[in-house]
């Protein structure tokens, strides 16, 4: 059973200027997905996810690997 309800999110990003990433808490393991601006290195978060949500996010944006930030 998922802790978070799946809702349809229209995710638009520019692969030329943004890189998808997941930020994980070392202490709690909480995961937040978002994008890193390639020019500034700033992380912009979209939503908190569980493992299933992370897989859905990756499928929705069409990537097989994602950068992890701690």
Q: Which two tokens stand for residue 39?
A: 């020019």
Q: What is the structure's pLDDT at 7?
A: 59
pLDDT digits (tens, 9 = 90+) for 5-63: 655 567 778 889 999 999 999 999 899 999 999 999 999 999 999 999 999 999 989 89
Task: For residues 68 and 48, give the distance between their C-alpha atoms in angstroms, rounded to a whole number.
Answer: 14
**pTM, two decimal places:** 0.78
Per-residue burial over 29-52, b if 16 or more Cβ lie within 10 Å, else e, is eebbbbbbeeeeeebeeeeebeee
Q: Which two tokens stand for residue 1?
A: 């059973």
Q: What is the structure's pLDDT at 30?
A: 95
């Amino acid at each position: 059973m998922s802790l978070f309800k799946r809702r349809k999110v229209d995710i638009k990003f520019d692969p030329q200027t943004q890189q998808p990433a997941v930020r994980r808490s070392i202490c709690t393991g909480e995961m937040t997905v978002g994008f890193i601006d390639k020019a500034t290195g700033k992380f912009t978060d979209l939503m908190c996810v569980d493992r299933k949500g992370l897989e859905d996010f990756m499928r929705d944006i069409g990537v097989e690997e994602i950068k992890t930030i701690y």
